[in-house]
Structure 1
Amino acid sequence: MARPLTIAKSAWIYARLFRLPNLLIVVLTQYLLVFLVLYPAYGRHDISPALTAPEFFLLSLTTVVIAAAGYLINDLFDEPIDRINKPDRQVIGARVPTSVARRWYSILFFGGLLIALYLAATTHNLPLLVLYPLAFGLLWLYSRHFKKQLLIGNLVVAFFCAFVAGIVWVAERPAIELLRLRASEEAWRLSWILGSYMVFAFLSTWYRELIKDLEDEEGDRRGHCRTLPILYGRKAAKVVAAFLAVALLLLLLLLYDKVWTPGPSLRPI
């Protein structure tokens, strides 16, 4: 009876290490964008998606690999700070040896690179290949340097959350361009929805990162981080967070007025 418990415990530890709920949200977001936003627009104008179902699965899998590797490399660099900020929740160095975590990072990098190579070759979409090493490099720089710098770390994380929708836009660009030729107004509406989602993801993530900086101030000070609460005080950080919250609310109201409210089609201003 002990063996199943051990397996279950190991699975739970690795689910925490790779932030399984967050990865599921990445997949769900991409599939909802495709099936509820893109495909209906394509269907109304007899346009085939740029990616087949298996190709889109591989695209989503590549995004998940990038996200999982990002969490992993961040935790590797954050190990000393995590001993202070979250000693009871620390995984690397406490439940998973550092050497094992590094091996997993290598597996994710090379495995994802092979998928990206195959996807770029089969779809003839070179940006899908170029974006992969760029994403890994930026995540490494974030974990090593940017996250300790004023605002830069927050903005990099926010960019990657917007990237979840952005990569779908890049992959489906040929079909969207064809839609633009056949129905320019609907193509513009589609682009507006995707762009609005990316802005919302960017702003909401930036807000969340500021709140985390407030919560982790003690450990960040010991780790020599230059976050907004440390350099300019908690009050300044709260003011910026409040500004972002208001911006998010205004964006939601704009989306409701322009997209979700029945009425004339959205037109470019």
Structure 2
Amino acid sequence: MASRKSRLTLMKVLSLFSVVRGYNIPIIALAQYLSAIFILDRESRALDVILDINLFLIVLASSLTIASGYIINNFYDAQKDLINRPKKSMLDRLVSQQTKLNVYFGLNFSVVLLAFMVSWRAVIFFSGYIFLIWFYSHKLKRYPVIGNLTAALLAVLPFFGILMYFKNFYEVIFAHATFLYLLILIRELIKDLENIPGDLANDYRTIPVMFGEKVSKYIITLLTFLTIIPVYLLVDVYDVGYMDIYFYAGMIVIIIFLLKLWGAASQKQYLQLHNILKILIVAGVFSIVLIEPSVLVHGRKLLSVI
């Protein structure tokens, strides 16, 4: 009996982990720290950045906000996910909707407390972030264009949180942000293509539902070509060190992505395209260290200090 109860508890923990997409959050936290070390505060020692308590609180608050965002998104998308992701949806349903809401409010309360420990500006930023996530999940995501633009904005907002903390507004940072925003926006449009059955059944007026798959592919193609602009700036105008290797390789991946896009017609094929973009985005996170690899061995002497 005890073994069965323990197994059920473990399944509920796994269910909650699935709801908050716990596998994504560490990647976002790592990306924030790497951005802080290699882009936003390149003048300080890496160890000083890592040990900055206020930065830690901001990254932790961001992680909890993102987790709560996944919960409220899951709450509103429960019926749609039964159609689009039946296996994941069955796992997610092991935790009741009431429990999800309790965890959601608990996480948001914790975020506000953490923000208070940093500054009143942090409180305003994270309060606005929490509200915007809820408003997107409740209303905006059901509408074409505005839903996609907002989803991509929500994905990059954690980086603007640490950007405001360091007060570093160099043009190169906005070139990085533009490239990331475009990739995430393209991914959101691919998700809409992937989720057509559930969106149709639940009256989500996405671009594929309203205008068809072909129009969506034209928009994705246009956005893909627009990524060339920030890539050109980062490779030829600004100093991104050896990270230009990532951008050259990324352009090859994007060409393959476009070829596959125009041949895609099934949910499985759109999922493959979605995964290609995920890999490209995650690879970009780890490639940030290529901007100044000497940080890890000399210069700011992180390893010797440790």
Alignment TM-score, normalising by the size of structure 1 = 0.81
What is aligned with 2:220?
Answer: 241
Q: Which runs of 4+ in 1 moved over 3 A?
A: 1-11
Consecutive unaligned residues in structure 1, runs of 5 or more = 121-125, 177-187, 263-269
1:161 Cα shift? 1.8
1:267 is aligned to none
Matches within 5 A, 1:192-231: 192-231=171-210
Give the secondary-structure state (helix, strand or coil) at the position aligned to 2:86. Answer: coil
Alignment of 1:68-217 (within 5 A): 68-90=67-89, 94-120=93-119, 126-173=120-167, 176=168, 191-217=170-196
Seen in structure 2, the aligned counterparts of structure 1 residues 161 and 197 have a Cα distance that, compared at 3 Å, is farther
Q: Whole-Å Cα distance in 2 between the matches of residues 67 and 53 of structure 1?
A: 21
Query: Would the alpha carbon gap of residues 249 and 21 (structure 1) be closer, same or farther in structure 2, given more than 3 Å must change?
Result: farther
| Deviation digits for residues 70-122 of structure 1 (CA, Å, limit 9, x no counterpart) | 111011011111111111111576221111101101101111111111211xx
153-162 vs 206-215, which moves further:
153-162
Out of 157-166 and 24-33, give the one that drifted further. Answer: 157-166
Equivalent residue pairs, number:
238
The percent identity for this pair of structures is 25
Structure 2 match to 1:183:
none
Which of 7, 14, 19 aligns to 1:12? It is 14
2:12–2:95 contact (8 Å) kept in structure 1? no
Structure 2 stretches lacking a partner, 5+ long: 243-306
Q: Residues 29, 261 of structure 1: CA spacing in aligned structure 2 closer, same or farther, 3 A cutoff?
A: closer
SS, match of residue 94 in structure 2 = coil
CA distance in 1, matches of 2:90, 2:64: 19
Alpha-carbon deviation of 1:34? Answer: 1.2
Q: Identify the residue that residue 34 of structure 1 maps to in structure 2.
A: 36
* Range moving further from structure 2, 103-112 or 82-91: 82-91
- RMSD value, Cα: 2.4
**Contact 2:72–2:104, Cα closer than 8 Å, also in 1:** yes
TM-score relative to the length of structure 2: 0.71
Counterpart-to-counterpart distance in 2, 1:129 and 1:97: 30
Separation (CA, whole Å) in 2 of partners of 1:4 and 1:192? 53
Check 1:36–1:2 CA distance in 2 against 1; reply closer, same or farther (3 A cut): farther
Give the aligned residue type for 1:171. Y
**Cα distance between partner residues in 2 of 1:210 and 1:91:** 25
Q: Which residue of 1 aligns with 2:285?
A: none
> Which one-letter code corresponds to 2:54 in the other structure?
E
